Amino acid sequence: MLLVVGLGNPGGEYAGNRHNIGFMALDTIVQRHSFGSYRKKFQGEIAEGRVAGRKVLALKPQTYMNESGRSVLAAATFYKIPPADILVLHDELDLAAGKVRVKRGGGHAGHNGLRSIHSHIGQDYGRLRLGIGHPGDKDRVTGHVLKDFAKADQAWLDTLLDAVADNFELMAGGDDGAFMSKVALAVNPPRPKPPKPETPAPENAGNGGGGPDENAD
């Protein structure tokens, strides 16, 4: 079984925050792959489905971001899921808006949700880092993550969430590289090549090569 955790804060006042992009991505996956309805369990909301032939448990902790690890530990313990089979979807300040990276293991880089998960299950789990961009000043970080996405963000955000859900089978199947490539291509499709200039037709084209009429007197 694969445990996929979306990070965010519960409650309508936080629903559109940049910090809640993990919730948004998980909801899109659940809808796209026809999971069952969410139900309350493990101090969170869970839904079950199948992706790439694997049973997948989707979890949205309702403990607030800073205590996410309690919910993750409860679900992982009940289903006996090792950290290697846990994937956490979260906002990432150190990636430009719309960029994604898959990371397996390693530090929490100061993210409070990951910090909590580290303290409960260790660091050997996977993360899908969803770029929200950095405000440029560390004193503005809290305001940045706890504000709703701007209207100008909506185009890339919707495309990103759709691409993550559409290509989630690749990541569930272990092909992180192909997943990242597909998502990057969807968010930033290549520009169409300009049309080649037309080659002008020869001046004498169409009159038999321009020679005199063989039947002329």
Active site residues: 19
**CA–CA dist 47, 70 (Å, integer):** 18
Nearest to 10 by CA among 57, 61, 48, 46: 61
As given in the structure block, the two tokens for residue 21 are: 């992009």
Strands lying side by side in the sheet with 2-6: 39-41, 44-51, 54-61, 2-6, 86-92, 126-131, 100-104
Residue 65 · residue 19 · CB < 8 Å: yes
Paired tokens of 25? 């991505």
Query: Between the CA of residue 189 and those of 28, 56, 159, 171, 182, what are the distances in Å?
Result: 21, 30, 11, 20, 10
